[in-house]
Structure 1
């Protein structure tokens, strides 16, 4: 239990919440606004504290350990000395039945968390003013009844109470409208933020997006080992010459969309497409130990998927796939039209594996073969000439080992 007092108190308020931090925060805010505040964080203490301190308003958390706020409010309303004290419920719930229950047990108002302090202050001021007018009216009524006559002051108080009720009604309506407009604006901003972020995530990996939010300029990182896959459609150039451009783009979209779904399925990173070529990497931007196996599974699945697409003569499409494992630098450079890309000798070699590959085959380098030979069967494919590297042995995937 804690309390805060000001020299010229605007009124006494009891704050009840099972979260001590919330009690402390509200007590400091209301205390700083000129109110005398008493706070409790156990619902079992509310009745005794209220009787001792005689607050003029109670801020009550609806959802607390037994007894909850609704039960506490019922106890207050059943106590003659406390039943007229206005109770403002606080809750994270916006369900209409929670609000209905709050008013059913005698609550004067309902405010949702997180609390907007300006809204809270407006409601507190309105309810305190109404409460005090009611107290004055009751006192004057008792005096008038004792004197067996109608007091001019009583009539004035009745008119004042009526005016205050109307003012409170208009304030609440205006406040509700402001809250609604603020919520609509916040929702619209949130939706636009989500759209923007989703568009960015379609271009860059999530880990890179998070880093770009904090840093400006180039963002690159070295990975000691990653596995890179290049794939392209066999005989795509003659196919493109005989197909209407719109149909060709539609075909590529279907093929690459199917590959995109595989990327998501295997948790890999699509790097880019160039014409009919598709580039994927494993082990970055978040390192993973089994990236060679995962990329190989992706390659096998790509071969199965491409077989479902056919040319005009009903022949199935084929892929050339090349895979290499090695060190790369990955990141985003420049300030416009961001793209996540890879650089390094390992990338160039993977590209050569695809360019000099065999239609319908998955061709891998010695480095990748050594990583996968325990799990997959390969057949030697001889050697190929790689610019800047000379002759390099290559292997062709045969099947998974049983």
Structure 2
């Protein structure tokens, strides 16, 4: 029993470390015999191996999973090569094992602090080298996988933000991202535009659904592009109606001129789309200016919307407009005297507001 116990306490035979990871490895050493010996050993283990005779040549290589880097070289020493690699966006994620004849602790510390994964003195133990290469390549695989996941997350986040920008203004998205849960603001000088296609319902009954949707999609995409050019905020579409505002949520220098240019541009782009489809449709537009309340409503398919008398009056003006005419209130007209022509239309009755003087807007 005693003899068996003594045998069990004896030295354990060390099995050679198995190759668990393979990859592309760059061997950097100014001595050709060292490069050849190490390259042959790595190739036998299944690695793809390339070599460089100095630091400058090493910095020209980019596509490797691991670099075995000699510390003492005549052109650029290994520590400087390591520092340059970690400063280069293309090279900084490649792990580096320093291999050197120097066995002092200071050299090892400087290399590790500069970003080396490991440090092996020459002559190195092949089993220890294999184990450390396995460990470095294993960590590199996990880091690469993490980077791929992060890029996927960034791509998906960017897609989500682009989608969100089709629903909400950028400023509002920023506020939500910073933790605001209630978005509600009052704006004093806003111009509200309503537009509606004349006799669209009657015309749509004679058109195939796919063609109808294609027409509206092309037309409203033109309106959306125009709004972005002018700094106008699209609020929503309802059927063949289009609503936009100027002056919120971000202020612009002249919201009144911007909304007027938007209205003229919508008539022009309607003509362009009509020409493509061979359709005769016209549009009515109404604009009123004044204070509004804006905010987000709903938790499912929520929207950014605006409310108030200004919105109601603009809608009323659109309903009383004429085909391909821009019907504006006196509150809007007084801001447009000079750059545009104003033709008195007369007064209209608005519930809760009484009679309002209105005008047709034209280019000069």
TM-score w.r.t. length of structure 2? 0.70
Give the drift of 1:83: 5.9
Alignment counterpart, residue 155 of structure 2, candidates 191, 194, 205: 191
**What SS does the aligned partner of 1:372 have?**
coil
The equivalences for 1:46-57 within 5 A come to: none
Aligned match of 1:326: 290
**What SS does the aligned partner of 1:165 have?**
helix
Q: Distance in 2 between matches of 1:194 and 1:336?
A: 21
Aligned match of 1:227: 191
Q: Distance in 1 between matches of 2:323 and 2:308?
A: 26
Decide which moves more: 170-179 or 272-281.
170-179
In the alignment, structure 1 residue 126 sits paired with structure 2 residue 118? yes
In structure 2, relative to structure 1, the CA distance for the partners of 1:85 and 1:317 (3 Å cut) is closer
Q: Distance in 2 between matches of 1:233 and 1:347?
A: 18
Consecutive unaligned residues in structure 1, runs of 5 or more: 1-61, 63-72, 109-119, 138-157
Alignment counterpart, residue 357 of structure 1, candidates 312, 318, 321: 321
In structure 2, relative to structure 1, the CA distance for the partners of 1:181 and 1:341 (3 Å cut) is same
Contact 2:218/2:273 (8 A) holds in 1: no
**What SS does the aligned partner of 1:228 have?**
strand
Contact 1:87/1:107 (8 A) holds in 2: no
Q: Distance in 2 between matches of 1:85 and 1:200?
A: 48
Contact 2:71/2:79 (8 A) holds in 1: no
Aligned match of 2:129: 165
Give the drift of 1:251: 1.2
The equivalences for 1:211-226 within 5 A come to: 211-226=175-190
Q: Distance in 1 between matches of 2:355 and 2:172?
A: 36
Aligned match of 1:144: none
Contact 1:306/1:316 (8 A) holds in 2: no
Aligned match of 2:230: 266
Contact 1:217/1:335 (8 A) holds in 2: no
Give the drift of 1:121: 8.3
In structure 2, relative to structure 1, the CA distance for the partners of 1:85 and 1:339 (3 Å cut) is closer
**What SS does the aligned partner of 1:326 have?**
strand
- Cα deviations by residue, 1:268-317 (Å, 9 ceiling, x for unpaired): 11000011100011110011230110111111111111112339994532
Alignment counterpart, residue 218 of structure 2, candidates 230, 254, 257: 254
Larger relative contact order, structure 1 or 2 (CA cutoff 8 Å, min sep 6)? 2
Aligned match of 1:242: 206
Aligned match of 1:95: 90
Contact 1:229/1:324 (8 A) holds in 2: yes
Kindly indicate which of the two structures has a greater share of residues assigned to helix: 1
In structure 2, relative to structure 1, the CA distance for the partners of 1:92 and 1:385 (3 Å cut) is farther
In structure 2, relative to structure 1, the CA distance for the partners of 1:380 and 1:76 (3 Å cut) is farther
In structure 2, relative to structure 1, the CA distance for the partners of 1:311 and 1:245 (3 Å cut) is farther
Give the drift of 1:122: 12
In structure 2, relative to structure 1, the CA distance for the partners of 1:372 and 1:262 (3 Å cut) is same
Contact 1:227/1:323 (8 A) holds in 2: yes
Q: Distance in 1 between matches of 2:113 and 2:126?
A: 22
Give the drift of 1:177: 0.8
Alignment length (residue pairs): 285
Give the drift of 1:245: 2.3
Contact 1:379/1:395 (8 A) holds in 2: yes
Q: Distance in 1 between matches of 2:325 and 2:281?
A: 13
Q: Distance in 2 between matches of 1:282 and 1:390?
A: 25
**What SS does the aligned partner of 1:231 have?**
strand
Contact 2:198/2:323 (8 A) holds in 1: yes
Contact 2:70/2:98 (8 A) holds in 1: no
Aligned match of 2:306: 342
- Cα deviations by residue, 1:346-370 (Å, 9 ceiling, x for unpaired): 0110111111111110110000000
In the alignment, structure 1 residue 303 sits paired with structure 2 residue 267? yes
